[in-house]
Amino acid sequence: MLVHFPSIFHSSRIIVSTLIFCVSASAVVAESVEVTMDNYVVAETDWYFTNQQVNAPVNTFLHNGPVSKDEQEVIRSNRDVMYSLAVVDISEGATLTVPPRDAFQIIHVMDENHLSHFVIGAGESRTVTSDDVTGGTHVYLLARTKISNDLEESLAAQRAMKIEAKSAKPYPSKGFRSEDVEAFRNKLVQEFVDGKVTIIEHESFGATLDDVDPTSYVYAAAVGWGGLPADTAQYLAAVAGQGDASCQSYTLPKPNLDWDGGGFFSLTTYDTAGWIVEDDFYIGHEKMQDNGDSFTIYLNCPAQPNSLTVQEGWTGILRLYLPVDEQETIGFIDSIRDIRPEILDKTN
């Protein structure tokens, strides 16, 4: 998810000179590899590729239902959609297909450097080879299927997506230890939560390193690995004043999205590390208080309909799908960045 994260190192930037970790498909790692700032994004991506391959064979989708506190595979998961995950061998080419569908559905493709980031939409098909990515022989698919009013239709749409690969070699893990990756991730997430780093959402996920801000590239992988490019979705990666568990209301102006084409937005809340910890952690715009030109969300206000429950230290992401104008929406997100929830009496 593209994310512009709040004030992080305003006076300094992390210079990442060698973020691309070059490996050949035949490389065999005999010893564990230390996780550093220079290779963290590759290590984090390897963590996702490796874990996915434990859960499903190469070139095979693992379809997940709606996320919940008991069902979540990636940090900061999105309740608007159902995820389908796969690692695909593209060494000899692979064709990825999303059948036609009225509701939002995409296959999001990422390479071993957490780059390339392209999207295959409903009714589209694309053949991917190693020449289409910045490195490696495998890609990670993070498909998203919007949950329609008919859950069975949504589940059928998930199953209809196709992977047709000409090779089925397993992904060769790069030798990072899971505990090292997780510890490094948690350190970066805490630096973000503490306001020590700024992530520019629309410069966090790109086709190449030339398309990303170096600091955002690293921290976005920790806070929101698997984010979409800005022409498909944009994010407010943190709510100003987040973390307070008081009864509060959060009012935002209405964004300019392709509503007729399936555009939507939502707020999803998590714990500090980015995991779902409550049952009522999410609200889509359909259930927010519609004020005409703005929407209001309630948190920890049980007297209000559709109030979310958050814990002390909570974090949140506002997701906006299908912006009418990419640059306009970037400006919109900047305009709401400092809007803070209003603390209310709990009887409200």
Q: Is the pLDDT of residue 23 over 50?
A: no
Q: Pick from 141, 165, 189: which residue ends a domain?
A: 165
pLDDT at 332: 97
| The total number of structural domains that make up the chain | 2
pLDDT digits (tens, 9 = 90+) for 297-325: 999 999 999 999 999 999 999 999 999 99
Residues 175, 181, 182, CA angle at the centre, nearest 5°? 145
Q: Helix 40-55 crosses helix 178-193 at what angle (to 10 degrees)?
A: 120
pLDDT at 163: 98
**CATH number, domain with residue 60:** 2.60.120
Burial, 197: exposed, middle or buried (Cβ in 10 Å; 0-12, 13-18, 19+)? buried
| CA contacts within 13 A on the Cβ side of 166 | 11
Q: Pick from 165, 198, 219: which residue ends a domain?
A: 165
Mean pLDDT of the chain: 89
Residue 179 covered by a domain:
no
**CATH number, domain with residue 304:** 2.60.120.1600
Residue 220 covered by a domain:
no
Residue 274 covered by a domain:
yes
**Terminal alpha carbon distance of the chain:** 33
Q: Is the pLDDT of residue 18 over 80?
A: no
Shared domain check, 257 and 161: no
Mean predicted confidence (pLDDT) in 280-290: 95
Find the domain containing 249 and state its range: 239-343
pLDDT band at 347 (very low <50, low <70, confident <90, very high): low
Mean predicted confidence (pLDDT) in 212-231: 93
Tell me the residue type at 121. Answer: G
% of the chain exceeding 90 in pLDDT: 80
Question: Which runs of consecutive H residues, i.e. helices, occur in 35-177?
Answer: 40-55, 151-160
Shared domain check, 161 and 56: yes
Q: Pick from 116, 139, 165: which residue ends a domain?
A: 165
Q: Is the pLDDT of residue 143 over 50?
A: yes
pLDDT at 7: 26
Q: Is the pLDDT of residue 254 over 50?
A: yes
Q: Is the pLDDT of residue 149 over 90?
A: no
Characterize the bridge pairing of strands 62-66 and 124-128. Answer: unpaired
Burial, 93: exposed, middle or buried (Cβ in 10 Å; 0-12, 13-18, 19+)? middle
pLDDT digits (tens, 9 = 90+) for 56-101: 999 999 999 999 999 887 788 888 899 999 999 999 999 999 999 9
Are 113 and 42 contacting, i.e. CB atoms less than 8 angstroms apart? yes
Any idea what DSSP says for residue 163? E
